[in-house]
Structure 1
Amino acid sequence: MEAALLKVRLLQTLPRDLIIDLYDMGVAEARKAFEMVRDHSGLSGRSARELIGQARFRMQEHGFRSACLLHGGVPLEGDVIPQNGLKVFQPFMRFQGPENGIIFGLAAMPEKGKIPTKNMSRLAGVTLNWFLTPRLDLDGTGPKIGDLFVLFLIARDPADAGGIQEVAVGIVDSAYQEYVLYLPIEDFLAGYADLPGNPVSPDDEPPAAPSSGSLVRLKRRPKPFIVPEAPDHSNANEEDGRAG
């Protein structure tokens, strides 16, 4: 499937306000995790960095699930990936599109543009994306396209323990080797302006390229992300966020 068609499918399925809320949440929780460890843990050096990494991902993961619930996402029944029955240990959320759906997850990139660390949940998720790579059509029926597995990606800032270097939306191929689609947050949000039924609010500015010290400026009058009440969803078997 061509990248342009994939992007349209994502834009039609994932609400723009969801993406903005997730961006705000990711940045806010990263800063909060850093300040919590700095001010209250008594740790320093490697121990502090590791605890910041663990706290940052867990807090972002909780915020991710809460924001998705707020914007119509549905938790996977029994924590099982539809179509393949594989168990997951992260709070993946499903959004229904015009025809098929998107299984949406959160992942921390080791650095800007890099593939997230493999774990059981993501390896189960990418099996949905098998039809995105060229395959022989031996019986002439073509691929049976169902749900896509899509990640909301966050890379920490190596120069700032409480900062974020990049936020993006991406699709990893079924072999877990490369991105089929990778869109930095400003590029992804810009696509909504051309999508029927998703007008850009007059309160919003066009996304700008990242500059030193900050990522994109999304709103003239930014509002803090407030996590609604939602049950905790543990994924103790996962290893994300263990490095600062």
Structure 2
Amino acid sequence: MEAPTLALRTICSDKSGYAHDSRVSMTAPIRSRLRTVLSRNLLLDLEDRIRAEALRAHEVVRDSFEGLTPLRARGLEGQARFRSCEQGFEDVCVLHGGHLLEGGVMPKTDLRVHQPFMRFEQEGQGIILALASMSVTGALPAKNKSRLAGVSINYELSLRLDFDGKGPKIGDIFVALLVARDRDRAGKIEEIAVGVIESSYEGFLYYESLDSFLTGEGDAEPDVPPPAPIGPPDFERPQVTLKSVMKPFVPPEAPTAKKEEGDAQG
């Protein structure tokens, strides 16, 4: 599957959990909210810390757990990587003004979370940010109780019939900082991205790689190539050809009239 490294895409997933383009777009208001609430310095510090913690987890398992089979070593490294990155995520968020959810409960719900969900607010706009791992770049993170509670507040962002005329509204939104490990280089991260998962947990309402988000590649509309010039039609060679010399048409001689036996003149 092609990694979604384009500047900005709205993505849904099929039953396999892999991402593909959606026809529905809430990207403009979501992206505006992300830019307003999540500072560039916060995201840069999170990227540095996550990459550092991933490398540290690999080195600890490599140096301290000799004799493990490759399968067990990878499993242990995966657990160590996520827990270490999760601690770093929480530490960095606190330094940049993020707050753990009060009582560990999602706003306007009674749903409890068991992971560090950090709330940021700027100019009256709120984001609840969480860390999640992707199995591969662009795939939805695995469901768990905390993430299902998180996406519940994204209901008003999801497409549905607008019977009341009010349309989608944005209160606090749940945003995942998504991390995919590099499968070819031990201890490395292939991609970090920001994603907004729809309330049904069937796809992304918004997905953008962190590199693209920080460089602003998604701010400009993609260039549309000019239409190709239309040349003369390319006809197939005819199967029937006319003679090169045309002869005048000569009608056949009229037949001699005969009386039919038993006719009226008989």
TM-score (structure 2 length as normaliser): 0.70
The structural deviation recorded for 1:146 is 1.1
Q: Which residue, 30, 47, 50 being the options, matches 2:54?
A: 30
Task: Tell me the secondary structure at the aligned position of residue 118 of structure 1.
Answer: coil
Change (3 A) 1:184 1:144: closer
Task: Tell me the secondary structure at the aligned position of residue 186 of structure 2.
Answer: strand
Q: Is the 8 A contact 1:109 1:154 kept in 2?
A: yes
Q: Is the 8 A contact 1:150 1:170 kept in 2?
A: yes
Which amino acid letter does the alignment assign opposite residue 22 of structure 1?
L
| In 1, Cα distance between equivalents of 2:169 and 2:157 | 11
Q: Deviations over 1:189-218 (max 9, x none)?
A: 123998xxxxxxxxxxxxxxxxxxxxxxxx
Which amino acid letter does the alignment assign opposite residue 216 of structure 2?
G
Find out whether 1:4 has 2:4 as its counterpart.
Answer: no
Q: Is the 8 A contact 2:26 2:206 kept in 1?
A: no
Task: Tell me the secondary structure at the aligned position of residue 18 of structure 1.
Answer: helix
Task: Tell me the secondary structure at the aligned position of residue 182 of structure 1.
Answer: strand
Q: Is the 8 A contact 2:157 2:170 kept in 1?
A: no
- 1:90: which partner in 2? 115
| In 1, Cα distance between equivalents of 2:43 and 2:69 | 34
| In 2, Cα distance between equivalents of 1:145 and 1:30 | 34
Q: Which residue, 80, 87, 105 being the options, matches 1:62?
A: 87
| In 1, Cα distance between equivalents of 2:196 and 2:188 | 24
**Looking at CA atoms only, which structure, 1 or 2, has the larger radius of gyration?**
2
Find out whether 1:79 has 2:104 as its counterpart.
Answer: yes
- 2:127: which partner in 1? 102
Change (3 A) 1:143 1:113: closer
Q: Deviations over 1:14-70 (max 9, x none)?
A: 111110011001111110000000001122311100000000000000000000000
The structural deviation recorded for 1:185 is 1.0
Q: Deviations over 1:119-175 (max 9, x none)?
A: 000000001111122222333344443100001111001112211111111111111
- 1:20: which partner in 2? 44
Which amino acid letter does the alignment assign opposite residue 52 of structure 2?
A
Which amino acid letter does the alignment assign opposite residue 69 of structure 2?
S
Which amino acid letter does the alignment assign opposite residue 60 of structure 2?
M
Q: Is the 8 A contact 1:153 1:167 kept in 2?
A: yes
Q: Is the 8 A contact 2:212 2:218 kept in 1?
A: no
Structure 1 range deviating more: 182-191 or 138-147: 138-147
Which amino acid letter does the alignment assign opposite residue 41 of structure 1?
F
| In 2, Cα distance between equivalents of 1:160 and 1:166 | 12
Aligned-residue RMSD, C-alpha: 1.7
Aligned 1:1-244 pairs, distance under 5 A: 2-42=26-66, 43-191=68-216
Q: Is the 8 A contact 2:33 2:125 kept in 1?
A: no
The structural deviation recorded for 1:113 is 0.7
Which amino acid letter does the alignment assign opposite residue 32 of structure 2?
V
Q: Is the 8 A contact 1:49 1:161 kept in 2?
A: no
Change (3 A) 1:7 1:134: same
Change (3 A) 1:81 1:192: farther
